[in-house]
Amino acid sequence: MKVHVNPDKALVNTIRTALQENDGYCPCVHNSRGKTEYKCMCYDFLNNVQAGETCHCGLYIKDEI
């Protein structure tokens, strides 16, 4: 699997700050903290997102499966 970081630097900075504040859990999913399936890179992104799609936050974009 290949992924890349979203080229939108402002979005990336916002999401990375929110990830730090949320102990690495997805800040875009309500009540994600402490749920391992939402630890970044989350289960949904790794297993269900198709090439060309983003994670919940838009931080990562999947290039290949």
Give domain limits for the chain.
Answer: 2-64
Closest CA to 25 of 35, 10, 12: 35
The DSSP symbol for 8 reads -
* Segment 10-29, tens digit of pLDDT: 999 999 999 999 999 999 99
The pTM of this model reads 0.88
Q: What is the pLDDT of residue 64?
A: 77
Q: What is the CA radius of gyration of the chain?
A: 11
